[in-house]
Structure 1
Amino acid sequence: MIAEKPHTVLKATDLSVGYFSKKKPIPVAENIHFELEQGELIGLVGANGVGKSTLLRSLVGMQPIVSGSIEINGQNLSGLSSLVLATQLSVVLTEAPASKNLTVQELVTLGRQPYTNWMGSLSETDKKQIKYALEITDTEKLAYKKCFELSDGQLQRASIARALAQDTPLILLDEPTTHLDLYHRAYILKLLKQLTAETGKTILFSTHEIDLAIQLSDTMIVMTETSVVCEQPCKLIEAGSFDALFPKDTIAFDKNTGRFSIRK
């Protein structure tokens, strides 16, 4: 019996990302190739300044690419309208909601905007998806709290719930563990892992929690100043890809434990 080929949700081909100055391209990262499959948790890691946020913004259409192509479920990103794109991917950024005076329920309900009618009325399907998003992120008991009343960890869970309410096959998160303590960093990443298993969604997140990402990710994208590599964590360890992330005179990577340590 022939194994079914995994479905590719997000594909980058010969991609270069960066900025434009006076219409002249200034690449930050080049020669990017990857195919991310359905139901995977993918960690995007690299030192500050290598272009992780630039890559994420480019993948969701917030920033024009320098060259190459991005495909979402077989469709070129450049050919998707904003409304269609909103049904294909959802984004969780590090910034707080525009109005922290919203309740958690109201914030999560915003995720249904691509599907509501012109009056913004919620269907039974909308209500079920909102309820599910609150339940699976354990934010149901926070539903009527204002966002400004939440801790950083609670607000992050509420933002993830909003993305789940949007019900897209692909979710991208920019450093979802920023400002969280160790317990809540681990909690959020374990939640993302749980969501891929239970919903079949593909979740790509950037993070500085490289040790945790190695333990939990199905696939990782490792960015350095000279290369971008996408592979399973065990294969990246074997290839020495993590050794190149930081100066060796300061930070050492132990291939046996999969952890970083400070050189004394």
Structure 2
Amino acid sequence: MASEISNTVLTAENLSIGYPSKKGDTVIAEGLNFALRKGELIGLVGSNGIGKSTLLRTLSATQPALKGDIILNGSTISETTSLQRATQLSLVLTEAPASKNLTVLELISLGRQPHTSWMGRLTSLDIAKINEAIEATDVAKLKHKNCYELSDGQLQRVYIARALAQDTPVIILDEPTTHLDLYHRAYILKLLKKLAVEKQKTILFSTHEIDIAIQLADTMMVMTKKSVAIDEPCKLIEQGKFDALFPPETIHFDKNTGRFSVKN
């Protein structure tokens, strides 16, 4: 128990997520309690529109929680500054940035902004972190290309490299395999798994690649309209949590293989 507590990096306590308004809050999910640990790859799955992106934005403090607390490395995230959060958590979103005219090296170097002086000068440590990120994501051959010249799969690796260069304990990615073919979807998720283990990062990602996530993730979060179930993939399978994701008359989940199939 003590080792689990010491390895905990991000905790949600009685968390409610959604959208506030004058007419009343729109609650997406409530009463969430979970802990994410160091060196783990965590997959967040659920049907379209269920609120996965809302949860990730709330956990990264880009959107306020309706209720409850998020504790990041011992500090309540709502009470930290944006600069403090940027040294603890990096975020990779699906939206195309306005930075595709940058070279790969320039984009990855932006990950060091929270650590540089007001003049933005890179120290030897900054350069070392950038080079480590380039090596870990295998983009050395691309570093002098402009980002608009890259394929979707290559660009996704560059975004991950930028997050690695930021050198935060937690990395959150919103659907990092969107628009990729099967090979590159598997490649990106295997890369995230490798980085979680080798760099001892806590990596949380949302995905529609449930079959692959079941095989690679240490922990999974299954989000439905009624709840968010969090556990090891094998235990969630035993509990029948994946069966609740899609209409049973259309999609069948095979507990033996951990795969979904379309019913005839």
**Equivalent residues of 2:46, 2:224 under 8 A apart:** yes
Q: Counterpart of 2:199 in structure 1: which amino acid?
A: T
What is the root-mean-square deviation of aligned Cα atoms in Å?
1.1
Deviations, residues 52-77 of structure 1 (Å, cap 9, x unaligned): 00000001111111111111112101
Using the TM superposition, name which of 148-157 and 67-76 deviates more: 67-76
2:156 is aligned with 1:137: no
Distance 2:126 2:97 in 1: 21
Distance 1:230 1:254 in 2: 19
The 5-angstrom pairing of residues 174-213 of structure 1 reads 174-213=174-213
How far the C-alpha of 1:24 sits from its partner, in A, is 2.6
Using the TM superposition, name which of 87-96 and 25-34 deviates more: 25-34
2:69 is aligned with 1:54: no
TM-score (norm 2): 0.98
How far the C-alpha of 1:93 sits from its partner, in A, is 0.4
Q: Which residue of 2 aligns with 1:86?
A: 86
Using the TM superposition, name which of 141-150 and 23-32 deviates more: 23-32
Using the TM superposition, name which of 203-212 and 28-37 deviates more: 28-37
Q: Counterpart of 1:117 in structure 2: which amino acid?
A: S
How far the C-alpha of 1:130 sits from its partner, in A, is 0.3
Structure 2 unaligned spans of 5+: none
Distance 1:49 1:84 in 2: 31
Using the TM superposition, name which of 143-152 and 21-30 deviates more: 21-30
Distance 1:23 1:126 in 2: 48
Q: Which residue of 2 aligns with 1:14?
A: 14
How far the C-alpha of 1:22 sits from its partner, in A, is 1.9
Distance 1:97 1:110 in 2: 12
How far the C-alpha of 1:99 sits from its partner, in A, is 1.9
2:36 is aligned with 1:36: yes
How far the C-alpha of 1:3 sits from its partner, in A, is 7.2
Deviations, residues 175-220 of structure 1 (Å, cap 9, x unaligned): 0000000000000000000001110000000000000000000000
After TM superposition, what 4+ stretches of structure 1 lie above 6 angstroms from structure 2?
Answer: none
2:17 is aligned with 1:4: no
The SS at the match of 1:4 is helix
Structure 1 unaligned spans of 5+: none
Q: Counterpart of 1:71 in structure 2: which amino acid?
A: I
Deviations, residues 51-106 of structure 1 (Å, cap 9, x unaligned): 10000000111111111111111210111111100000000001122221000000
The SS at the match of 2:13 is strand
Q: Which residue of 2 aligns with 1:67?
A: 67
The SS at the match of 2:221 is strand
Distance 1:129 1:104 in 2: 15
The SS at the match of 2:178 is coil
Q: How many residues align?
A: 263
The 5-angstrom pairing of residues 78-117 of structure 1 reads 78-117=78-117
Q: Which residue of 2 aligns with 1:238?
A: 238
Deviations, residues 133-167 of structure 1 (Å, cap 9, x unaligned): 00110111100100000000000000000000000
Q: Counterpart of 2:3 in structure 1: which amino acid?
A: E
Q: Which residue of 2 aligns with 1:223?
A: 223
Distance 2:77 2:23 in 1: 21
Q: Counterpart of 1:40 in structure 2: which amino acid?
A: E
The SS at the match of 2:107 is helix
TM-score (norm 1): 0.98
How far the C-alpha of 1:118 sits from its partner, in A, is 1.2
